[in-house]
């Protein structure tokens, strides 16, 4: 007896997709689906041969591209064939050719991805599965300039770009877009890599996605005139750079710079951009961006219709030109916040920004803004956070103020400034005060002080040479990050969690700034004083 009870043919561009319904063995559909998922690879190969025999017997001359095996309404597995099967009544050679063409497992790795006209190379190959194109979320995010984040404790990943934030639990078929839950094709986890549905992700980030089925190329392109009609001008007959610049309160020089023009020649139909843009990255602030481009915070906020100083990683900001050739006003330095607001909270295990906001009846955006958090950051259990206003914040150092690493750094208070400058996953340079030797390190967490790891095996080797052997006794160091030299103290004993793989050491290290404390109330006062002394030494005191 055939193992298939019925079928359904679905017309597609280059043939048919076939749904085969398997005989129900007596248990309910869900139980059978779970049991089927335990079938070993040899049995899957036999199932594939049964499918090919079924096609040969029942559909001679019909081109079959994909087969879905169903029990009731549940999908058990899919087979996507690299070349459509066109079986004849006695065409064993064609069936064998189709078998050899089938990809390993149930994924078809023939997918090619083009982004803005360029074929892309991926370390983790994209694939087709269940009528959907899947890509490694992290790699895809890198290629389109998006910020990708993950939270191991909640098994959640996300991608942010141009003010759009998409987040989902790995393996889930729902996502949140800017906080609103929406359905999506189920995400997949293959060899611990998160694969996301390409079309869903790209289209929600402002791209158009089309498929060239003849070459299996998925084309991802920016939507036309994404900058907006107000930011793009189409040249008409009689226009000159001078007339356009005058119309939009620009200078001819700024208009040429924005469009990379080397002469004054323009032609009808040419599109000219009327402003520059900046893609917000982790660590950016309006003040820092304004300093980079020579514009004021007020002008940045006006150009982008911002009502606060909060910006999001992945957001695109308009960078206005000055209306005249005169230099822009000096950037404004933010005012310090000197005290905690009336309502504060100690984060509990399992808390999220969303749950905390719900608990206090405030918005998630305010919770993040009041605590100077980027959208891809999360809170630590035991951490004190602000609810009804901004947390205390000082501004001793300025990004970009130092041109190179130094053996002397500024005294920066960890609680009110340092933890906002040295954030989780940031990579920075550590300078040993005594010897001047340097190595790279990664901040992996911590809220009372920074927990760090050397970035590579070579960095670990340098660090170990500085300490002679792994030991708790700290050394005076300077952290060089985003153009700032900050006085710090680093201990030399690996302990606790290990986050940076293949760096030659198992564990993390304590790094203290001014005002840092231990994560434990039982830590030796002598150890804390040693760190305080080393921080002062790193500041030249």
Residue 127: name the closest of 12, 219, 216, 211 by CA: 216
- The verdict on residue 15 lying in a domain is yes
- The verdict on residue 391 lying in a domain is no
- The verdict on residue 288 lying in a domain is yes
Same structural domain, 474 and 516: yes
Q: By CB neighbour count within 10 A (0-12 exposed, 13-18 middle, 19+ buried), where does 485 fall? A: buried
- The verdict on residue 404 lying in a domain is no
Angle, alpha carbons 126-221-219 (nearest 5°) = 40
Same structural domain, 283 and 211: no
- The verdict on residue 72 lying in a domain is yes
Same structural domain, 303 and 204: no
Q: What is the pLDDT of residues 442-486, one digit of tens each?
A: 888 888 899 999 988 999 999 999 999 999 999 999 999 888 999
Q: What is the pLDDT of residues 368-415, one digit of tens each?
A: 889 888 765 778 778 899 999 999 999 999 877 888 899 999 999 999
Q: What is the pLDDT of residues 158-200, one digit of tens each?
A: 998 877 889 998 888 888 888 788 888 888 887 778 899 999 9
Q: Judge whether 204 and 226 are in contact, CB under 8 Å.
A: no
- Give the phi and the psi of residue 334 in degrees, each rounded to 5: -60, 150
Of residues 315 and 327, more confidence is placed in 315
Same structural domain, 358 and 452: no
Q: Which of 188, 222, 256 is the last residue of a domain?
A: 222
Same structural domain, 419 and 532: yes
What is the Cα–Cα distance from 534 to 467, expressed in whole angstroms?
14
Q: By CB neighbour count within 10 A (0-12 exposed, 13-18 middle, 19+ buried), where does 269 fall? A: exposed
What is the Cα–Cα distance from 339 to 352, expressed in whole angstroms?
24
Domain CATH code at residue 206: 3.30.457.10
Same structural domain, 280 and 268: no
pLDDT at 93 over 80: no
Identify the pLDDT of residue 27. 47
Tokens describing residue 511: 């790094």
pLDDT at 26 over 80: no
Structural domain count, the chain: 6
Q: Judge whether 208 and 223 are in contact, CB under 8 Å.
A: yes
Same structural domain, 145 and 201: yes
Same structural domain, 59 and 119: no
Same structural domain, 379 and 465: no
Give the list of residues 6+ apart from residue 522 with CB closer than 8 angstroms, or none. Answer: none
Q: Judge whether 133 and 198 are in contact, CB under 8 Å.
A: yes
- Total number of residues shown for the chain: 541
Range in 2-6, 174-178, 328-332, 426-430 the model is least confident about: 328-332
Tokens describing residue 304: 């982008």
Same structural domain, 490 and 477: yes
What is the Cα–Cα distance from 119 to 133, expressed in whole angstroms?
15
Same structural domain, 118 and 203: yes
* Domain that residue 305 falls in: 276-319
Same structural domain, 217 and 300: no
Identify the pLDDT of residue 231. 63
Domain CATH code at residue 254: 3.10.350.10
- The verdict on residue 470 lying in a domain is yes
- The verdict on residue 532 lying in a domain is yes
- The verdict on residue 339 lying in a domain is no
């Amino acid at each position: 007896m055939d193992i298939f009870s019925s079928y359904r043919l679905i017309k597609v561009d280059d043939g048919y997709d076939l749904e085969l319904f398997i005989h129900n063995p007596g248990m309910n559909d869900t139980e059978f689906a779970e049991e089927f998922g335990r079938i070993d690879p040899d049995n899957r190969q036999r199932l594939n041969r049964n499918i090919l025999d079924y096609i040969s017997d029942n559909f001679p001359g019909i081109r079959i591209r994909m087969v879905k095996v169903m029990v009731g309404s549940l999908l058990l597995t899919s087979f996507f064939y690299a070349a459509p099967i066109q079986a004849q009544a006695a065409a064993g050679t064609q069936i064998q050719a189709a078998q050899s063409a089938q990809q390993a497992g149930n994924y078809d790795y023939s997918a090619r991805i083009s982004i803005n006209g360029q074929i892309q190379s991926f370390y983790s190959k994209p694939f087709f599965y269940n009528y959907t194109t899947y890509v490694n979320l992290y790699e895809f995010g890198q290629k389109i300039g998006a910020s990708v984040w993950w939270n191991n404790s909640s098994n959640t990943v996300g991608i942010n770009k141009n003010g759009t934030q998409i987040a989902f639990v790995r393996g889930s078929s729902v996502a949140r877009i800017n906080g609103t839950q929406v359905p999506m094709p189920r995400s997949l986890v293959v060899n611990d890599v998160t694969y996301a549905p390409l079309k869903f992700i790209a289209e929600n980030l402002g791209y158009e996605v089309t498929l060239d089925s003849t070459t299996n190329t998925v084309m991802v392109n920016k939507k036309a005139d994404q900058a907006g009609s107000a930011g793009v001008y189409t040249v008409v007959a009689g226009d000159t750079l001078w007339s356009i610049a005058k119309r939009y309160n620009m200078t001819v020089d700024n208009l040429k710079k924005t469009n990379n023009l080397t002469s004054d020649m323009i032609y009808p139909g040419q599109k000219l951009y009327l402003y520059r843009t900046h893609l917000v990255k982790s660590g950016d602030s309006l003040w820092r961006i304004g300093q980079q481009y020579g514009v004021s915070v007020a002008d940045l906020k006006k150009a982008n219709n911002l009502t606060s100083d909060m910006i999001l990683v992945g957001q695109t900001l308009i960078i206005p030109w000055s209306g005249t050739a005169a230099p822009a006003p000096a950037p404004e330095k933010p005012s310090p916040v000197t005290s905690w607001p009336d309502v504060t909270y100690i984060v509990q295990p399992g808390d999220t920004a969303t749950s905390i906001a719900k608990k206090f009846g405030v918005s998630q955006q305010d919770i993040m803004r009041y605590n100077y958090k980027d959208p891809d950051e999360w809170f630590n259990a035991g951490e004190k956070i602000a609810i009804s206003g901004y947390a205390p914040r000082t501004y001793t150092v300025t990004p970009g103020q130092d041109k190179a690493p130094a053996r002397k750094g500024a005294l920066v208070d960890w609680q009110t400034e340092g933890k906002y400058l040295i954030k989780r996953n940031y990579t920075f340079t550590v300078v040993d005060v005594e010897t001047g030797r340097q190595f790279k390190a990664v901040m992996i967490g911590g809220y009372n002080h920074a927990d760090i790891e050397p970035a590579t095996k070579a960095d670990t080797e340098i660090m170990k040479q500085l300490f002679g052997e792994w030991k708790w006794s700290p050394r005076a160091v300077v952290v060089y990050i985003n153009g700032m030299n900050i006085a710090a103290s680093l201990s030399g004993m690996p302990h606790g969690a290990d986050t940076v793989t293949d760096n030659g050491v198992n564990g993390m290290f304590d790094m203290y700034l001014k005002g840092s404390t231990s994560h434990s109330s039982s830590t030796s006062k002598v150890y804390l004083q040693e760190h305080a002394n080393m921080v002062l030494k790193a500041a030249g005191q």
